[in-house]
Amino acid sequence: MSEFFELIKTRQSCRNFDSERAVENEKLIKVIRAALLSPSAVNSQPWHFTVVNSKEKSKEVAKAVQKAGSNEFTSSCPAFIIINEEETNIFSKEGKKVIGQEFASNDIGIAVAHIILAAQSVALSTCIMGRFDEQEIKKICDIHKGKRIRLIIAIGYAKNDEFRIKSRKPETETVTYIID
Ligand SMILES: Cc1cc2nc3c(=O)[nH]c(=O)nc-3n(C[C@H](O)[C@H](O)[C@H](O)COP(=O)(O)O)c2cc1C
């Protein structure tokens, strides 16, 4: 199997980070640059990534994530990537008017997929998080209060990377092939 398919197969959400093992900034930059190469509707790139890899600030981010009532595992996570939505460009806005599709969330989702797979390729583990105290995160990271934070990614080395069998809906339910 190619390395790419192996990456997809072995990636899994990490909820057991090694607090003793710091993440190299160089690796985080590599991962972010993979996100920046991500496609987006009319190349709008409606995102901003805030990378937190700081003993003090990472603890504050973990607390703000947990304030939403879950994700306790972030206490041992050394780094985070916060993704906020930026204005889409005029062409993307036009597309929304014409076909009634909002593209920014799709674009951010694709960029996040780049991040988690790029991380996996440099032996880092991740967990995407949709629950966090948005206002608190904005204060900690100095993100303008008018912006929407869409997702936060916990990133670090896994303490225990025992592979879990993937739980997915059956393909018969989720795929229709119309093929010759
Ligand atoms: C948009 C989104 C939000 C998520 N939010 C959380 C979260 O807040 N906490 C968490 O532990 N996992 C979260 N996850 C991870 C999912 O639970 C996980 O991807 C799913 O169960 C599949 O497991 P796997 O990633 O190990 O393959 C989120 C995933 C996505 C895509």
For the chain, give every domain's residue range.
3-174
Ligand 1 centroid–CA 129 distance in Å is: 6
At the fourth CATH level, the homologous superfamily of domain 3-174 is NADH Oxidase (3.40.109.10)
Q: Please give the pLDDT value at position 1.
A: 58
d(CA 34, CA 30): 6
Non-local (6+) Cβ contacts of 178 within 8 A are none
Ligand 1 centroid–CA 88 distance in Å is: 26
Q: Which two tokens stand for residue 139?
A: 């204060």
Q: What is the DSSP letter of 21?
A: S
Q: Which two tokens stand for residue 128?
A: 């995407």
Q: Which two tokens stand for residue 108?
A: 């951010």
pLDDT under 50: residue ranges of the chain? none
Q: Which two tokens stand for residue 147?
A: 């912006």
Q: Please give the pLDDT value at position 30.
A: 98
Ligand 1 centroid–CA 65 distance in Å is: 14
Q: Is 143 in the pocket of ligand 1 (CB under 6 A)?
A: no
Q: Please give the pLDDT value at position 100.
A: 79
